[in-house]
Amino acid sequence: MVFSDRAHAEPSQPGGTGTAADRTVDYQAGKMDKTGHIDSHDIDRNASLTLHEKLDPNSKTKANVEDKPNTEKGGVYKDLQFVKAGGSFTVLRDWKVNGNAVNVLDTATHKAFQFEVVIFDTYAKPPIRTEYTNTAPF
């Protein structure tokens, strides 16, 4: 299971609506209990986390995505999420831990999903938001 306590964090957009926005989200691997929580003793601090991303072909602007899987070792995947001024795109994301496909935990609902969908739109509030699904939307 991959999770982040900051997956729903408010991004920084110092210039206001329409300007560039960013946020950093740290992902970790852990085991979820039956209530949908991950305790600190259930975190794998040595895990190798691999992120794969796919850009929605209907996105208005292009973006740099991790279409070739990118792996971070040492138990934490530090992810800078960024959208340029006027940008609008959507990214489908899936994860592997130690080479095995895993679900991602929505810490707001305490439910596990196969995919994360991150929507970047500098004219929306918030300009970066994360949704979860078990069906790839594109």
- The per-residue pLDDT string of the chain (138 residues; one tens digit each, 9 = 90 and over) reads 999 988 888 999 999 999 999 999 999 999 999 888 898 889 999 999 999 999 999 999 988 787 788 899 999 999 999 999 999 999 999 999 999 999 999 999 999 999 999 999 999 999 999 999 999 999
Its pTM stands at 0.93
Q: For residue 42, report the phi and psi dihedrals to the nearest 5 degrees.
A: -100, 10
Residue 138 lies in a domain: no
2, 103 contact by CB (below 8 A): yes
Helix (H, G, I), strand (E, B) or coil at 69: coil
Please count the structural domains in the chain: 1
Structural domain boundaries, residue 86: 2-133
Q: Which amino acid is at 100?
A: N
Residue 15 lies in a domain: yes
